[in-house]
Amino acid sequence: MTQAETRQDDQHLLETVEHSVLRLLSGFRDPPARLEITAGAVTVTAEWATAEGANGTVPAVPARAPADTPAAPIDDRLLVRAPTVGVFYLAPQPGSPPFVQVGDPVGAGQQIGIVEAMKLMIPVTVDTPGIVLDVLATDGAAVEYDTPLFALSPAEAG
């Protein structure tokens, strides 16, 4: 096998693993505190932090609200929160315009940001229609699970 063929095989393997990991993560109710994947001889490990942790040092992972529950209001604002730990981005790629800006209307299911976790791009989407009031996290900032990223004004019925 040539070096170019080996690189192609490695790239294909990485793409397959990436697709599988995204599918695996989407099936978890709560994101794991640690995820380990090994391709050779297959190893998949997902660990969730507990309130006490193994040695009392691992922080608890907050429980995620059911998908059909709107974001928790602060005053009359709705918060859109980070779906996982990672790096937050406002645009689909460097140099591109942001997904949304303050004042933009957004619809349920609309992507408004990205959190990169372990080289995986996880979309930040809106559960409830509204208007973007504020961007609460800085582009390129490290965020924790459940960090408020955007504040929305709920859309008025009518």
Mean of pLDDT values over 102-128: 93
Instruction: Tell whether 66 is covered by a domain.
Output: no
Say how many domains are in the chain: 2
pLDDT tens profile 60-112: 434 344 444 444 444 678 999 999 999 999 999 999 999 999 999 999 999 99
Q: Are residues 80 and 136 in the same domain?
A: yes
Q: Are residues 79 and 116 in the same domain?
A: yes
Q: Are residues 87 and 135 in the same domain?
A: yes
Tokens 């996982």 belong to residue: 84
Domain limits for position 7:
3-47
Whether 63 contacts 72, CB under 8 Å = no
> Model pTM?
0.54
CA–CA distances in Å: residue 106 to residues 14, 38, 99, 150: 34, 39, 10, 11
The pair of structure tokens assigned to 63 is 């429980």
Q: Which pLDDT belongs to residue 156? A: 65
Q: Are residues 98 and 143 in the same domain?
A: yes
Q: Are residues 78 and 121 in the same domain?
A: yes
Q: Which pLDDT belongs to residue 135? A: 95
